[in-house]
Amino acid sequence: MSDRQPLVVSDRLTKHFDLGRGQRVHAVDGVSLTIHEQEIVGLVGESGSGKSTYGKALIGLHPKTSGTVSYRGETLPQRYTARDFQRWSQKMQMIFQDPYSSLNPRMTVGEIIGEGLRLHSKLPTRQIRDRVGDWLKRVGLEPDHMSRYPHEFSGGQRQRIGVARALILEPEFVVCDEPISALDVSVQAQVVNLLDELMASMGLTLLFIAHDLSMVRYVSDRMAVMYLGALVEIGPAADVFFRPKHPYTDILVKSNPEPDPERERQRASTTITGEIPSPVNIPAGCRFAGRCPHVMDVCRSTTPELLPLADEPTRRVACHLYTQ
């Protein structure tokens, strides 16, 4: 990875939501992450870990509380205006989770996909139609689906439409916010393969947010694990999955059910207890200390830094077990 240029860099990106009465949700708390050109970074975590908020803050849909995001070295605005979105929309796009609510039910598929072109270029309508038709073919639909409405399509087909909408402006960086979570197993692979193909042909860089460990492992080059608003581990996807270092990653992998009865029979009973705490009251020290089977005294007082492992410099873990 090191031979590639950094494309998107977030530096201590923080997003808090004020609930009023002095309560704040620490949705994302100082996440630093470098995404290189033509790389797929998978971001996993349980619900409430802040992975989706991170993706939206990264791309500008949430104003940042603190921290910065830069794109090829240029710092992006803290709060986006419509003008900022116009400028950056040709560089960064997003694919949304819910294929049902992410397509305007009152617009035809052609209008949805062509929206970016209509807002940006002075292309005549004919040419926009042609481009939309090309993109429909590219995502595996028919050009004459243009005049149909989203509700006529299945979940997988809708997600293809969402992909075409995001990619028609030919961005370099795409945040995929749980793009396959709402889809059936047989259709998930269709969308993943489509993303794979498009990535190869367009040279895309992806941040792939999901909670399905197996799928993230399959899709990503590197995998980042998020817990309660902070990264706990990041490294090459296969390493993180098969040889997890952080106790939380370990438990996550061990809890991941595999479609293999033999292996499931050998699986030890789960060791983790409790549930992810509320991000309103972040405990002091390590965020995972309350559930960690290897918890030490230091964990309850000092927050561990995300540091490279001594023997594997490509991997970084935020855990006191690996610091002397």
Partner 1 sequence: MSQPLLEVSDLRVEFDTYGGTVQAVRGVSFAVEPGKTLAIVGESGCGKSVTVQSIMGLTPMPPGRIRTGSARLRGVEILGRTEIDGRDIRGREIGMIFQDPMSSLNPTMTIGTQIAETLEVHWGWSRKRAFDRAVELLGMARIPEAARRARQYPFEFSGGMLQRAMIAMSIACEPAILVADEPTTALDVTIQAQILDLMGDLQRDTGMAIILITHDLGVVARMADEVAVMYAGQIVEQGSVDDVFYRSAHPYTLGLKAAMPSNEPDAEGKHKLLPIEGSPPDLFHPPVGCAYAARCPHAMRICQDQDPAAFFQSEHHFARCWLHHETAPRVEGLHRGAAARQPEASA
Partner 2 sequence: MAETSPTVTLNEPGAFEPLHAEQRAQVLSRPSLSYWQDAWIRLKANRRALGSLYIIIALLLFTVVGPFVWQVDPAAQDLDQISTPPGASRAATLVGPLQPWDGSTLEPDRPGLHLAEPATTQSVRLLWDPWPEAYGYRVYRNIFPVAPGEALGLPMGDTFARDQTRFEDRLDLQPRTYYYTVVALDTYGEELDRQESLEVTPNRVITIDDALARGLIAPADDRQVGDSVRLALHPLGTDYLGRDMLARLMHGARVSLFIGIAAPFLFVLFGVVYGSTAGFLGGHVDQALMRFADFVIALPFLLFMILFKIAFGIGPGESGIMPMVVAMVVLLWPATARLVRGQILQVREEGYVSAARLLGAPTGYLVMRHMIPNTMGVILVTLTFAVPSAIFTEAFLSFIGMGVAPPTPSWGSMCNEGIKTMLTYPHELIFPALLISITVLAFNLLGDGLRDALDARMRSRE
Binding site residues, partner 2, CB under 8 A: 56, 59-61, 82-83, 85-87, 89, 92-94, 96-98, 100-108, 112, 115-116, 119-120, 145, 147-149, 151-153, 162, 165-166, 169
Tokens representing residue 153 in the block: 């399509």
User: Do residues 159 and 194 touch, judged by C-beta distance below 8 A?
Assistant: no
Residue 193 binding: pick among partner 2, partner 1, none (C-beta 5-8 Å cut-off by kind): partner 1
User: Do residues 274 and 284 touch, judged by C-beta distance below 8 A?
Assistant: no
Tokens representing residue 219 in the block: 């899709």
Q: 169 — alpha (psi -120 to 50), left (phi > 0) or beta?
A: alpha
Contact flag: residue 185 with partner 1 (CB under 8 A): yes
Tokens representing residue 68 in the block: 């910065």
User: CA neighbours within 13 Å on the CB side: how many for 36?
Assistant: 11
Residue 270 binding: pick among partner 1, partner 2, none (C-beta 5-8 Å cut-off by kind): partner 1
Contact flag: residue 187 with partner 1 (CB under 8 A): yes
Report which secondary-structure segment, H or E, holds 179: none
Contact flag: residue 149 with partner 1 (CB under 8 A): no
Q: Count residues contacting partner 1 (CB under 8 A)?
A: 44
How far is residue 209 CA from its own chain's centroid? 2
Report which secondary-structure segment, H or E, holds 159: helix 155-167
Kindly tell me which residue out of 7, 252, 292, 299 binds partner 1, with binding defined by CB under 8 A: 252
Contact flag: residue 314 with partner 1 (CB under 8 A): no
Smallest Cα–Cα separation from 216: which of 185, 251, 180?
180
Q: Please report how close the Cβ of residue 108 comes to partner 2 at its closest, in angstroms.
A: 8
Contact flag: residue 130 with partner 1 (CB under 8 A): no
Cα–Cα distance for residue pair 285/265, rounded to 1 Å: 36
Residue 152 binding: pick among partner 1, partner 2, none (C-beta 5-8 Å cut-off by kind): partner 2
Specify the residue, 42 or 114, whose C-beta has the smaller distance to partner 2.
114
Q: Please report how close the Cβ of residue 268 comes to partner 2 at its closest, in angstroms.
A: 38
Contact flag: residue 218 with partner 1 (CB under 8 A): yes
Kindly tell me which residue out of 11, 214, 282, 308 binds partner 1, with binding defined by CB under 8 A: 214
Kindly tell me which residue out of 63, 203, 257, 313 binds partner 1, with binding defined by CB under 8 A: 257
Q: What is the residue type of 37?
A: E
Cα–Cα distance for residue pair 25/280, rounded to 1 Å: 4
Specify the residue, 88 or 227, whose C-beta has the smaller distance to partner 1.
227
Starting at the edge strand that comes first in sequence, how are the strands of the sheet with 307-308 ordered? 92-95, 173-177, 205-210, 40-44, 222-227, 230-236, 316-317, 307-308
Smallest Cα–Cα separation from 40: which of 182, 178, 279, 236?
236
Residue 275 binding: pick among partner 2, partner 1, none (C-beta 5-8 Å cut-off by kind): partner 1
Contact flag: residue 151 with partner 1 (CB under 8 A): no
Binding site for partner 1 (CB under 8 A): 46-47, 154-157, 184-190, 192-193, 211, 213-215, 217-218, 238, 241-242, 251-252, 254-264, 267, 269-270, 272-273, 275-276
